Amino acid sequence: MKRNGAVTPYPISGYALCNSIGMNRHEVREALHAGHAGLGPSPIELPFETVVGAVTGKLPDLPAELGPWTTRTTRIARLLLDELGPELERLREAWRPERIAVLLGTSTAGADVTEMAYRQFLSTGSLPEDYDLFKQHTYGAVLHVTRELIGAKGPAWVISTACTSSAKPLASAQRLLDADLIDAAIVGGIDTLCSMTLRGFKSLDALAVEPSRPFAADRKGLNIGEGGAFLLVEREAEPVAMLEGVGESSDAYHISAPHPEGLGARLSMGRALAQAGCSSDSIDHVNAHGTGTKLNDVSEAAAIESLLGREVPVVSTKSYTGHMLGAAGGTEAAFSVMAIAEGFVPASLRAEPLDEKISVRIATQRIDGDFKRVLSNSFAFGGNNVSVIVGAPR
Amino acid sequence: MSRPIAVLGAGAFVPGFEGLEGWAAARPDAEFENPQAALVPARQRRRASLLSKAFAEAYAGALETSQLEPSEVASVFGSALGEAATMIGLLDQMWSETAILSPMKFATSVHNAASGMISIATENRGFTTSLGADFDTPAMALMEGIGIVFAEDRPVIVCCGDESPPDQLVPDGEGWSMLAAAIALAPIDQAPSGAPRVADLAVETATIKGFGADGKLGRNPNIGLLDLVTALAQKRDGILALDRGAGRGFTIRIESENP
């Protein structure tokens, strides 16, 4: 239970996905297996060119009593909970509501609603009549809707650490289980496209005009995506995979640029390995942070090489979904579970010709096989790093 | 959570008071209207938001009183709205004719801006996080901190704060004034004997009330953490509410004197 030693692995008993390549687990699996990306024109009007990973399927409405909390974020939450219906029914029968936590991550929350409401405010002097900061913008909104829809009464918070937001709840859940404060948790996160985020990354000169090319020699930046992923972590349950370890670290270097040698990344991966109680050669696959920016891909690859060697297959699934920011870590943890459950590592798209400065093995073709242990990286503004290790059921 | 946890130190920033000590003694001082944030190097401080500076001020108080190692201690930052003022500045830029955003403002608009800034300032490569839960933010930040103390057997600083919400986004009379508060927690066996303790973070009936923060300050979503560190500074015992009626009703038990 202590940081310096291996921690108790907990079963991941279910997961749900929604993003630009699919509205559920099955659709996402088919797209990853076939190598089909979900990147296209932005549905948001922008004064520059880029492509995005937009969710294009129909999202469900909220029940009438939750109507005032309706946003794109909360509707994605409902879609994910609907997919988890049978698993949630069993979970509710197994554990008391006070022992079920809701631990989510987002970077945008309801920013998409607020930016349009504020635009109206600037032009008319008043907000839309149905705008409510606490029902539509803040973190409490998605927590309220999720708790109400599943009847959870335990701890509930949203982590917002930019691009690590939805990976860190896996660590929170692990700690609360270790500390015997909960018996089960819904973890993961949701982000939605909004104009401010797209323009913000443009201001940082980080957006690609075309579909992103993580690890490629002539990569030109990232694409922004949206969607979400929820995973169920329990004290005891029939596992799809096991949550074996989560390593967290800080670069202590720069607010928006990664450490050039990937020091923080190496620390988070090393801590995840220590928690999982496994050696570096036991990792079968890495789902990389792999944004497609010049700085990230080189420093991350250096960190992976120094800790895990050159042979482990590395993939950036952001080449399919775009960078889902606050939802990326949870989504890619779910992709890692899928690699174990479905027996394949998706191809890292558009990575060739590879950057010569990158010496790790980028999987440019799908690899079918038996994967026992997968590591997923997420790195963020503020120098915030998380590495999650999931393993095959034991 | 029923097991007790030791309190090693605390800090606060309340505009117009010199730290937690000045606030708990109800001793106003106009010199301390704005956070100094001396913990942060001048170059970073110039770029920091008011909220990040208030966080730095409260966090420094908890560091100083706890004597924890700045480069090693884990930290949990809680805020309901985070960098909302920075967001409004970006929206003003975005919906203006030029429509160009400041990259520096964008990079520091994230909820974990203070967490990142303080990890850089203290050269801390360990754990830090940033969370929100509206008016339950203090209770949930404490719960995340307690998880670290129990599961990892090590100290943590929990720091919560919000600046005034943007006037444009909240109805008249529902805003609040800024505060930040911080508390350093540790396993009992890592604390000096006699250190105050907290226990029983749960939904209970409170037996003691928050101190002297009515009106706008009392509406701040993080008033519960300020109430907690104030009660500890004033050596008051009992069950304290971690919100003032707008949250889910979480409380915590305080044991100020432990012979």
Q: At what angle do helices A328-342 and A168-178 cross, to 10 degrees?
A: 80
**CA dihedral in degrees (B125, B126, B132, B138; nearest 10)?**
-130
Q: Is A3 on the interface with B (CB under 8 A)?
A: yes
- Residue A209, number of CB atoms within 10 A of its CB: 12
Confidence bin at A260 (pLDDT 50/70/90): confident
Q: Do B146 and A181 touch (CB under 8 A)?
A: yes
- From the candidates B140, B142, B148, B222, which should be mutated to test the interface with A, based on the most A CB atoms within 10 A? B140
pLDDT of residue B58: 98
From residue A172, give the alpha-carbon distance in Å to each of A248, B7, B17, B76, B140: 11, 21, 35, 11, 11
Please name every residue paired with B204 in a beta bridge, in sequence order, or none if there are none.
none
Write the pLDDT tens digit of every residue in B141-159: 999 999 999 999 999 999 9
Cα separation, A108 vs A328, whole angstroms: 12
DSSP assignment of B169-204: GS-TT-----EEEEEEEE-GGGS-TT--EEEEEEE-
B contacts of A127 (beta carbons < 8 Å):
168-169
Sequence-distant (6+) residues with CB within 8 A of A293 are A206, A219, A221, A222
For residue range A71-111, list pLDDT tens digits in order. 999 999 999 999 999 999 999 999 999 999 999 999 999 99
Query: How many CB atoms sit inside 10 A of residue A243's CB?
Result: 29
Q: Fill in the DSSP letter of residue A136.
A: I
Pairwise CB contact (< 8 Å): B115 & A267: no
Q: Which amino acids of A are annotated catalytic?
A: 163, 289, 323
Amino acid at B173: G
Q: Which residues in A lie closer than 8 A to residue B140 (C-beta atoms)?
A: 155-157
DSSP B197-259: EEEEEEE---SB---S--HHHHTSTTHHHHHHHHHHHTT--EEEESSSSSSS-EEEEEE----
Are B91 and A196 within 8 A, CB to CB? yes
A1, pLDDT greater than 50: no
Q: What does each C-alpha distance from A62 to A59, A66, A97 come to in angstroms?
A: 10, 6, 21
At A94 the pLDDT is 98
**Residues of chain A with C-beta less than 8 angstroms from the C-beta of B136:** 140, 156-157
CB contact under 8 A, B152 and A3: yes
pLDDT averaged over every residue in chain B: 95
CA–CA gap between residue B224 and residue B212 (Å, rounded): 12
- Interface check for A115 against chain B (CB to CB < 8 A): the answer is yes
CB A98 within 8 A of CB A154: yes
Q: In angstroms, rounded to a whole number, what is the distance separating the alpha carbons of residues A290 and A313?
A: 13
Give Cβ neighbours of residue A33 (< 8 Å, ≥ 6 apart).
A342, A344, A346, A366
Q: Measured between CB atoms, which of B95, B147, B153 is closest to A2?
A: B153
Q: With contacts defined as CB-CB under 8 Å, which chain B residues touch A194?
A: none
A108 contact B CB<8A: no
In order along its 259 residues, chain B shows pLDDT tens digits of 678 999 999 999 999 999 999 999 999 999 999 999 999 999 999 999 999 999 999 999 999 999 999 999 999 999 999 999 999 999 999 998 777 899 999 999 999 999 999 999 999 999 999 999 999 999 999 999 999 999 999 999 999 999 999 999 998 888 999 999 999 999 999 999 999 999 999 999 999 988 877 789 999 999 999 999 999 999 999 999 999 999 999 999 999 876 6
Q: Give the closest-approach CA distance of A263 to chain B in angstroms.
A: 9
Q: What is the pLDDT of residues A23-67, one digit of tens each?
A: 999 999 999 999 999 999 999 999 999 999 999 999 999 999 999
Q: Do A195 and B136 touch (CB under 8 A)?
A: no
Q: What one-letter code names the amino acid at B86?
A: T
Residue type (1 letter), B237: D
